């Protein structure tokens, strides 16, 4: 496997992992914007924009985007986290040009149709409700708040019903322009792909876009707080955490080794202590931020 990284003149980075035995290719665009980059009245906007990206461009409506991917047997998805938003496709290699064209299209020429905004607002408000009704989702949002109360990292990625209800097409367009620039994008492909081919395709589709004006991220300070929500459930969902920084590869794997040994599998220490006694289910992992 060969990894190659380069940068276009406009600052956009791209990387490929050529896998000689692969018969498909995964290609995605990672954008360094997430919930932590949202202003007070923008809570949930990075996530809503991820939904809206698939809802139409100047050249394609929502149905055409889905059909063009599925016509060639491709798979398309996206996710939003607190620190990134990513859009990706898995395709057969002969369809890479189509995949890159669709990804570039949805990130640079989205029309954000108002009817689709209203539809997605409803979908997201349902998602928020679903998350609030899912204790093992809710507890991690509460945990983020207990770690970083007062910082944007403490907020839920989905936003709130109130914030999402207020987003307009103008707001979404402004957020897109401020955060989706060449310097904020990383294009990555892996599988049956060469760097030269990816580079040529990306230069052609994204070589012209300008940088964005994303504000510098503010570092978060650990709060070590406490968040408790009482619910009439059969089980309690409890998360506790402590801050630690893994600065080197060796320290990062020491942390991962600890995670595995302490609570990572059916032979781990916590599994032995709790689950074998039939009392608890547990999960232990480092939050890698």
Partner 1 sequence: MLSVSAAELAAVATAVSADEVERAKAQLRANLLMARESVSASGDALARQIMLFGAPQSDKELLAAIDGLDPGAISAMAGRILESSAPAVAVVGPKSDVMSNAELARLLAA
By CB under 8 A, residue 181 contacts partner 1: no
DSSP class per residue in 107-160: HHSB---HHHHHHHHHHHHHHHHHHHT-HHHHHHHHHHHHHHTTSGGGS-TT--
| Least distance CB 284 / partner 1 (angstroms) | 8
By CB under 8 A, residue 90 contacts partner 1: yes
Task: Tell which one of 59, 235, 283, 285 touches partner 1 (CB under 8 A).
Answer: 235
**Which residues between 126 and 165 bind partner 1 (CB under 8 A)?**
135, 138-140, 142-143, 145-147
Phi, psi at 80, each rounded to 5°: -125, 135
By CB under 8 A, residue 249 contacts partner 1: yes
Stretch that binds partner 1, among 50-58, 116-124, 195-203, 245-253 (CB under 8 A): 245-253
Using only the alpha carbons of the chain, give its radius of gyration: 21
Site string for partner 1, 257-286 (x = CB under 8 A): xx-xxx-xx-x-xx--xx-----x-x----
CA distance 220 to 223: 9
By C-beta, is 58 or 248 nearer to partner 1? 248
Q: Pick from 136, 54, 129: which is nearest to 87 by CA? A: 54
Q: Pick from 65, 68, 110, 73: which is nearest to 91 by CA? A: 73
By C-beta, is 178 or 237 nearer to partner 1? 237
Q: Pick from 65, 267, 46, 51: which is nearest to 157 by CA? A: 46
Do the beta carbons of residue 33 and residue 174 sit within 8 Å?
no
Task: Tell which one of 11, 113, 183, 225 touches partner 1 (CB under 8 A).
Answer: 225
Do the beta carbons of residue 45 and residue 172 sit within 8 Å?
yes
Task: Tell which one of 6, 10, 11, 17 touches partner 1 (CB under 8 A).
Answer: 17
- DSSP-derived secondary structure letter, 61: B
By CB under 8 A, residue 194 contacts partner 1: no
Residues near partner 1 (CB under 8 A), total:
81
Among all chains, which residue has been given the structure tokens 């689950």? 275
- Which among 38, 50, 120, 127 is annotated as catalytic? 50
| Least distance CB 74 / partner 1 (angstroms) | 12
By CB under 8 A, residue 250 contacts partner 1: yes
By C-beta, is 117 or 189 nearer to partner 1? 189
Phi, psi at 47, each rounded to 5°: -70, -40
CA distance 182 to 186: 8
**Which residues between 104 and 123 bind partner 1 (CB under 8 A)?**
none
| Least distance CB 114 / partner 1 (angstroms) | 32
By C-beta, is 52 or 91 nearer to partner 1? 91
- Asked about 250 being catalytic, the answer comes back as no
Q: Which residues are catalytic?
A: 50
């Amino acid at each position: 496997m060969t990894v190659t990284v380069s940068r276009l003149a406009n600052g956009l980075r791209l990387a490929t992992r050529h896998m000689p035995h692969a018969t498909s290719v995964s290609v995605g665009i990672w954008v360094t914007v997430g919930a932590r980059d949202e202003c007070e009245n923008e809570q949930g906007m990075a996530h809503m924009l991820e939904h809206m990206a698939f809802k139409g461009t100047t050249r394609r409506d929502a149905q055409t985007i889905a059909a063009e991917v599925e016509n060639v047997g491709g798979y398309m998805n996206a996710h939003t986290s607190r620190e990134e938003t990513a859009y990706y496709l898995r395709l057969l290699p002969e369809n890479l040009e189509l995949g890159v064209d669709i990804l570039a299209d949805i990130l640079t020429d989205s029309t954000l149709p108002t009817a689709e905004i209203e539809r997605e607002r409803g979908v997201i408000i349902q998602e928020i409700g679903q998350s609030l009704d899912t204790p093992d989702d809710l507890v991690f949002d509460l945990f983020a708040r207990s770690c970083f109360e007062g910082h944007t990292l403490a907020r839920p990625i989905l936003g709130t019903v109130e914030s999402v209800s207020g987003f307009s097409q103008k707001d979404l367009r402004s957020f897109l322009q401020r955060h989706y620039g060449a310097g904020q994008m990383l294009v990555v492909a892996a599988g049956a792909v060469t760097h030269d081919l990816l580079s040529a395709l990306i230069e052609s589709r994204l070589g012209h876009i300008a940088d964005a004006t994303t504000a510098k991220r503010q570092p978060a300070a650990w709060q070590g707080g406490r968040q408790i929500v009482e619910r009439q459930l059969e089980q309690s969902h409890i998360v506790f955490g402590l801050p630690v920084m893994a600065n080197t590869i060796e320290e990062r794997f020491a942390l991962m080794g600890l995670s595995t040994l302490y609570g990572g599998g059916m032979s781990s220490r916590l599994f032995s202590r709790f689950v074998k006694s039939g009392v608890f289910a547990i999960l232990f992992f480092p939050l890698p931020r």
